Chain A
């Protein structure tokens, strides 16, 4: 068990270190999410409610996540480095867990900018929204990482990931927007928790089969 966690830590540190050195993913995500919010400001008619804007916030975050996920296995794909990791005696699911953790970190960073920006451009953000994003991030990172590995192994690459990802993100958006706007956020937050649990377990168990033959 501790060996497994040790592997996860080693791999996650590697991913964070690489991002720190290359600095291409997180800045792009930050810029993208703010730009998207500004575009949305212009695309909403004047009488549009704040509720509609919250929906757009979720969309902005989902597409920012997609941007980050597309980069998640970029190095591994370009230099076939995933082979190097798959050859190692560590559990392949540790690769997934480590990569999800770094994706999660990037996403949280992006939201740390996005939510205040939203509060500035549109309307203040309540605790339910923050909680919803926290839960949604887990699901996005878990599922997105696995799908990113799939897309990296295909010929279509960046084109494929949104197609694979968007149907699976629909329940997250439902849960997230629901928790942000509805009177009883508890149900929606519980649903997000359920999504996270179910899909994280599935992704953890099946990552092995995505990266090996």
Chain B
């Protein structure tokens, strides 16, 4: 009953537990935010989802680095799956962020929301990642090009962040200010539980997709060997 072999199911179980607990805490235990009231609670989903997206991109970049270092093709699928997860959670970030913006300020999008703008740029970048993979024939070449692009992505994150901060001054005047929630004890605990839950969810999805893709691969190999 090792953890390695059961990583998928374990993560899924953990995700269920932590998310259930997190939602319960977020709705019933934690007090209202002083500034924003009840609607601020989406923060407990939005930020963990955003952080998880970053984590997925980082994981994808790490696997990409391993691929380039060892030229072991097995890392290609792992890197790709991680980036795929990152994009899914990135879209979720954009959606939850948009909902939050609508609830808080009545607009579906706000350019002064640095987090949202950053994710928009990253979404465009990683969508191009999929275009790159789609329009290149599978093989070692596609694997190393994807890996290099994934590395560019992870470097782009801080650079874009800096750029967006600089751009604030001339894209739009900063109309809405929002202080990052000063997290006191209960808030912090709830946040951590939710973060653990979303990370576990991402892990579970990652393992599942990876296993599925590896199975596809194996099936193809067997089919060919029999042909």
Contacts and interface: CB of A to CB of B under 8 A. Distances in A.
State yes or no: do A and B touch (Cβ within 8 Å): yes
Interface in A154-194: 154-156, 159-160, 163-164, 166-168, 170-171, 174-175, 177-178, 181-182, 187-188, 191, 194
A206 B151 contact: yes
B163 interface: yes
Contacts of B15: none
Nearest to A177: B170
The A interface is mostly helix, strand or loop, or mixed, namely helix
A202 interface: yes
A167 B136 CA distance: 20
B3 interface: no
Given A154-B136, A166-B124, A209 B148 contact: yes
Contacts of B145: 150, 153-154, 209-210
A209 B141 CA distance: 8
A174 B163 contact: yes
How many chain A residues sit at the interface, stated as a range, is 35 or more
Contacts of B147: 209
Contact of B152 (A154, A168, A191): A168
A198 interface: yes
Contacts of B20: none
A43 interface: no
A79 interface: no
Given A150-B132, A167-B128, A206 B148 contact: yes
8 contacts: A153-B145, A154-B145, A167-B125, A167-B128, A168-B152, A171-B159, A194-B159, A209-B145
Interface of A: 143, 146, 150, 153-156, 159-160, 163-164, 166-168, 170-171, 174-175, 177-178, 181-182, 187-188, 191, 194-195, 198-199, 202, 206, 209-210, 212-213
